[in-house]
Amino acid sequence: MGKSSFGNIFTVTTWGESHGRALGAVIDGCPAGLPLQEEDIQEFLDRRKPGQSRFTTARKEGDLAEILSGVFEGKTTGTPISVIVQNTDQRSRDYGNIALSYRPGHADYTFDQKYGIRDYRGGGRSSGRETIGRTIAGAIASKLLKELGIVFCTYTKSIGPVSIKELNPEEITRNALYMPDALAAKEAGAYLETCMNKGDSAGGIIECRITGVPSGLGDPVFGKLDAILSHAVMSIGAVKAVEIGDGIRTAGLNGSTDNDGFCMQNGAVQKTSNHAGGIMGGISDGSEIILRAAVKPTPSISQPQKTVSSAGENITLEIHGRHDPVIVPRAVVVVESMCAITLADALMANMSARMDRIKDFYSSLHKNI
């Protein structure tokens, strides 16, 4: 499979650079008959759009989604869905000085090492704009999952030293930082102002909670649901750690405090806790899936930094132009998108896990003819 593709049945292939003509995604393996409109995708793209607050870049791009194939009369047809977003505001002059130097914290150096050629007008393929393709596919996957009752709640859990203290889902979209805690959002905002005044930036943590996931998704070994989710989320630029359920904390727990017990409730098996984050042995257990991603600070800062030029000279670099002091809020929808793509794929793969269900499936078709 191509390196710019993800998924086995429900797959996404993304393309495009920050300063090229356009970016886009091809979603293949989406089932036929899913209602889909450009608005569904636009809603997701708008969540990652720049220029929405004083903490995001002023670059005012429309980032308008156009569906080019795979949808007919408002429904998917089972064929590849190609979606394109034009690059309307390229402003490559902002990036002039980076053409000749390796920016710390960016992929400039490694790109040159690997390919020997680099689109020096901007981040190119390694730009944050690359996530447009992921978000397009995430919007489609989410639409599919919603039809099955699977719902996401994704938000900023912390920015720098400021963590949420409550989880109020309604609050998430009320503040520019996508935090489910108004007070924390206010404090984080103040912290970011401080960073900006110093020409510096901040990192943070994104948490994704998914409810309504049927048990049985994922596979016992390399295809563990948590492993695929980790692949999906760690492939987002700037993510440096991924946790499932209690995550890193489990290293300090005991079996007696980490194990989730089972009990019967109204005739159904229930868990008495959810340290595991909804996945046991790589397979979803029907409870809430909980995942966290640690996002590093924006590498583009206006403070002077020591680095080298492509010509091999020690230089001091100052990156001008506006840059987001924090990536986290705009990455919330990207984390959600990658989780949605992973779940859509796992849902489809799981349909063939049992012989009795395969027989039921095909015998019901025969009756229809």
Residues 77-96 that bind a second copy (CB under 8 A): 77-82, 84
Footprint of a second copy on 261-280 (CB under 8 A): 261-264, 267-269, 272, 276-277, 279-280
Footprint of a second copy on 115-134 (CB under 8 A): 115-119, 124-126, 130
Residues 6+ apart with CB under 8 A from 249: none
CB of 300 to a second copy, least distance (A): 7
Say what the alpha-carbon torsion angle 347, 349, 355, 357 is, to the nearest 10 degrees. Answer: 30
Count CB-CB contacts under 10 A for residue 81.
Answer: 25
The HSE-up count of residue 267 (CA atoms within 13 Å, CB side) is: 0
Both tokens of 5, joined, read 């593709």
Footprint of a second copy on 320-339 (CB under 8 A): none
Instruction: Determine the interface stretch with a second copy among 10-18, 57-65, 91-99, 181-189 (rule: CB under 8 A).
Output: 10-18
* Closer Cβ to a second copy, 186 or 296, answer by number: 296
CA–CA separation, 262 and 270 (whole Å): 6
From 42, 56, 142, 307, residue interacting with a second copy (rule: CB under 8 A): 307
Q: Is 113 in the site for a second copy (CB under 8 A)?
A: yes
The contacts found for 320-324 with CB under 8 angstroms, 24 or more apart, are 320/94, 320/97, 321/94, 321/95, 322/57, 322/58, 322/59, 323/57, 323/201, 323/298, 324/50, 324/55, 324/56, 324/57, 324/201, 324/298
Q: Is 227 in the site for a second copy (CB under 8 A)?
A: yes
Residues in binding contact with a second copy, number by CB under 8 A: 169
Q: Is 253 in the site for a second copy (CB under 8 A)?
A: yes
* Closer Cβ to a second copy, 172 or 279, answer by number: 279
CA–CA separation, 337 and 135 (whole Å): 6
Q: Is 356 in the site for a second copy (CB under 8 A)?
A: yes
CA-based nearest residue to 122, from 155, 98, 104: 98
CA–CA separation, 83 and 65 (whole Å): 6
CB of 357 to a second copy, least distance (A): 7
CB of 319 to a second copy, least distance (A): 10
* Closer Cβ to a second copy, 170 or 366, answer by number: 366
Instruction: Determine the interface stretch with a second copy among 56-64, 89-97, 174-182, 195-203 (rule: CB under 8 A).
Output: 195-203
Instruction: Determine the interface stretch with a second copy among 43-51, 56-64, 172-180, 198-206 (rule: CB under 8 A).
Output: 198-206
Footprint of a second copy on 15-34 (CB under 8 A): 15-17, 20-24, 26, 28-29, 31-34
Residues 6+ apart with CB under 8 A from 24: 14, 15, 16, 82, 83, 84, 85, 132, 133, 136
Q: Is 352 in the site for a second copy (CB under 8 A)?
A: yes
CA–CA separation, 269 and 112 (whole Å): 54
Q: Is 65 in the site for a second copy (CB under 8 A)?
A: no
Q: Is 351 in the site for a second copy (CB under 8 A)?
A: yes
CA angle 130, 59, 84 (to 5 degrees): 40
Instruction: Determine the interface stretch with a second copy among 52-60, 88-96, 181-189, 249-257 (rule: CB under 8 A).
Output: 249-257
